Each structure stands twice: as C-alpha cells, then as structure tokens.
Amino acid sequence: MDPARPLDALNAARNKKVIVELKNGRQYTGTLKAFDIHINTVLDDAEERVEGEITRKLGTLFIRGDTIIIISPA
C-alpha cells in the first residue's frame, strides 16, 4: 500500500501489533484498535515498557494523541 495521507498508514496497521512511544519516554505495544485525527489511539492487550522492560500489562488502553511521538509496526 502506498499511503497518500499519514492516517492511511495507521489504517493499514489496524488490528496489527504496533509500538507507540510517548513524549515521557514510555513505550506501549499492543494491537491497534482505533485512532482519530488527533492521534488519540486505542490499543488492545497493551504492555507498557520503560527502558525496554515490561512494567505493566494494561489490557485495553486509551492514549491521548498529543502525548504520542511515533507509532510503528511491532
């Protein structure tokens, strides 16, 4: 797929495992379930990592978009 718009790339990752990194240095991995134009994002089976170590398992996770730096396939 050749995404014309950035949200097309997120759409292609829907229901797949992604890494989300936040401005505070935390990293969440999980299945990308939903996102919107603010990049508010919902992950399923989310795991939190701080400096590479799993610190919590969170199940469903809502992340406010303005705290996100990058989203990438896991």
Closest-CA residue to 67 (of 17, 16, 29, 20): 20
Residues that bind a copy of itself (CB under 8 A): 2-10, 12-13, 22-24, 28, 33-36, 39-42, 46, 58-73
Closest-CA residue to 16 (of 2, 29, 1): 29
Q: How many residues does the chain have?
A: 74
Min separation Cβ 54 and a copy of itself, Å: 15
Min separation Cβ 17 and a copy of itself, Å: 12
Min separation Cβ 71 and a copy of itself, Å: 4
